[in-house]
Amino acid sequence: MRSSSMFSYNLSLAMQSFKRAPTLYFLIMLTLSIGVGVLCANLALVNSMASDPIPEKSNKLIHISMNTWPGDQPPDEPMHILRYRDAMKIAESGIPKRSAVFYASGVYARDSESTSMKRFDSAVRATTPGFFELTNAPFAYGSAFEKSRGMEVVIGDELNQKIFAGVNSVGKTLELDGELLTIVGVLKPWILRPLFYHATEGRAFNLTDDIYAPLETAIDLGWSIHARSSSADNYAGVEETRDKNAYYLQAWVELDNVNQRSAMQSYLDSYSQELKDAGEHPLTTRNELHNVSEWLTAKKVVDQKVLAFTLASVLFLSVCIFNASSLLLSRFHAAKFEVGLRRAIGASNRHMLIQGLTESALLGLFTGLVALVLSWLFLKLSVQFLPRLANIAVLEPKLLVLGMLLALVTSIASALYPLYRANRYTISAELK
C-alpha cells in the first residue's frame, strides 16, 4: 500500500518535472531516441541476418557440398551445387530421414481458366517432394505433391493472392510457360529469414518461392536454371542434364539425430572414392556437411558492414547517453533546492534515488516509443537507399521489446551520475 502510494507519488513528481522543463526533457528524449533508434534499426538487420530460420531442427538439417568435378580445372572448394546423379545418390542413400534436391527456376504463370492473358513472373523451386516436410513449409490448403514427376504444383500465398485473390485454389490449373499444371497445395504466408535452403548467390534474403514443382517434371519441361550452375559438358537444355556433368542441384538432408552426420559423411566419402577409383574425377575426397547455422556462417549471410555499423551505433548510443547525462546533470543542478528541501523534511537518499529512477524510467518509456518510430523510419530510409534490404528491414516483436528495454536502460544509465551527484551534497548546501 505504502510502496504503491510512493510509486504513484513519484510518477506524479516525474510528470511535474517534465512539465517544468519540457524543452530540456524533449532534447534528452530525442538524443536518447536517436541513439536507441539507430541501434535498434541495425539490430533489426543483424537479427534478420543472424537468426535461425528453423530453430526446431536447424542442427539436423544438413547441406551437402561435394567435389566430384571431372574436368581439368577443379574448383578450390567442394561445390554447393551437385550434378543430377550425385544428388540422386544422396536421396537414395537411405540414411537421412528425408531429403530435398532442388534447383531454382522461373516461369510466367496465369490461371488457365482466366479470360485475362496477364501472366505473373514467378520464382520456381523445382524440387523433390521431401522439400516441404524438410523445410516445415506451412500449408493453408491441400498438401505437397507426392512424387518427383507429375503435372502438379504447390503455390505460395503471394501468387495465390495475385491470381486467385487468396481463396482455396487447390484443384485449379495454372498455365506455366504454356504447360498446364494442377495446384495440389497452397502455402500460408511463409517467411524464412534467412532463406536457408538457398543462401547462396546473394539470395539469403529473398522471399520464399511462388511455385514449387516436381523436380523431374521441371527437368522434363526444360525449365531453365535460375541460379548458379557449372558444367563440364555441353547441353542444349536442362532436360539433357541428367546424365551430364552439369552441376546445378542443391541437396539438403534431414537427419533423425546429429549422430547420423558421420554416417552420412562416410557414405558420401565412400561414394566419392568409388567415383575416383572408377576414374571419374581426380580429386582428393572432400565432401562437406553443414547444418543450417554452419551453412549460413560459411556463406557469410551476416553482412560484415552491417555488423561494423552496429558496433558504430553502440558507440554512437554511448555518446548519446553521455550527452543526455550532461543535460540531466544541468537539470538536477537546477533542482538542487527541491532535492535539499525534500531531504530536509524527511526524504532519504534512497527516496530521492528512487524518485530519480522513476523519472528516468518514465522518460525511458517515452524514449522507447519515439525510438521505435525512429527505428522504423531508419529502416524505411535504409530500404530506399539499399533496396536489397527490403526483406530483412523488419522490426520483429522481440526487437520492439528490446528497443523498449534499451531505451529504459539508457535512460536510467544517463541519470545515474547526475543522481549520484545530486545526493552527494549536504542538505544545508543544497538549500542555500
**Which residues, other chains included, contact 305 with Cβ-Cβ below 8 Å and sequence gap of 6+?**
none
Q: Estimate the crossing angle of helix 304-334 against helix 397-422, to 10 degrees.
A: 40
Cβ of residue 329: shortest distance to other proteins, in angstroms? 21
Cell numbers representing residue 115 in the block: 479470360
- 424 to each of 278, 342, 429, how far by Cα in Å? 84, 14, 10
**Segment contacting other proteins by CB under 8 A, of 2-10, 96-104, 250-258, 392-400:** 2-10
DSSP 137: P
* 188 closest CA partner among 143, 151, 150, 253: 143
Instruction: Find out whether 79 and 65 touch, Cβ atoms under 8 Å.
Output: yes
Each residue 265-284 as x (binds other proteins by CB under 8 A) or -, in order, gives --------------------
CA 370 to chain centre: 24
* Alpha carbon distance 64, 60 (integer Å): 12
Q: Is 423 exposed, middle or buried (0-12, 13-18, 19+ CB in 10 A)?
A: middle
Q: How many helices (H) and strands (E) does the chain have?
A: 13, 12
* Alpha carbon distance 405, 294 (integer Å): 30
Cβ of residue 378: shortest distance to other proteins, in angstroms? 37
The three-class DSSP label of residue 288 is strand
Cβ of residue 204: shortest distance to other proteins, in angstroms? 57
Cβ of residue 9: shortest distance to other proteins, in angstroms? 6
DSSP 204: T
* 208 closest CA partner among 223, 218, 198: 198
Cβ of residue 356: shortest distance to other proteins, in angstroms? 15
Residue type, 107: V
Using the minimum distance from each CB to other proteins, give the nearer residue, 259 or 428. Answer: 428
Cβ of residue 10: shortest distance to other proteins, in angstroms? 10
Q: Using the rule CB under 8 A, which residue among 20, 118, 149, 286 binds other proteins?
A: 20
Using the minimum distance from each CB to other proteins, give the nearer residue, 177 or 338. Answer: 338
User: Would you count residue 6 as binding other proteins (CB under 8 A)?
Assistant: yes
Using the minimum distance from each CB to other proteins, give the nearer residue, 354 or 416. Answer: 354
**Segment contacting other proteins by CB under 8 A, of 14-22, 23-31, 67-75, 157-165:** 14-22
Each residue 27-56 as x (binds other proteins by CB under 8 A) or -, in order, gives ------------------------------
Helix, strand, coil share of the chain (percent; to 5): 50, 15, 35
Cell numbers representing residue 426 in the block: 549536504
Cβ of residue 357: shortest distance to other proteins, in angstroms? 16
Each residue 316-355 as x (binds other proteins by CB under 8 A) or -, in order, gives ---------------------xx--xxxxxxxxxxx----
Using the minimum distance from each CB to other proteins, give the nearer residue, 155 or 352. Answer: 352
**Segment contacting other proteins by CB under 8 A, of 16-24, 135-143, 210-218, 304-312:** 16-24
Q: Estimate the crossing angle of helix 304-334 against helix 336-344, to 10 degrees.
A: 60
User: Would you count residue 405 as binding other proteins (CB under 8 A)?
Assistant: no
Cβ of residue 17: shortest distance to other proteins, in angstroms? 10
Total of residues contacting other proteins (CB under 8 A): 25
Cβ of residue 3: shortest distance to other proteins, in angstroms? 9
User: Would you count residue 2 as binding other proteins (CB under 8 A)?
Assistant: yes
Contact set with other proteins (CB under 8 A): 1-2, 5-6, 9, 16, 19-20, 337-338, 341-351, 426-428, 431
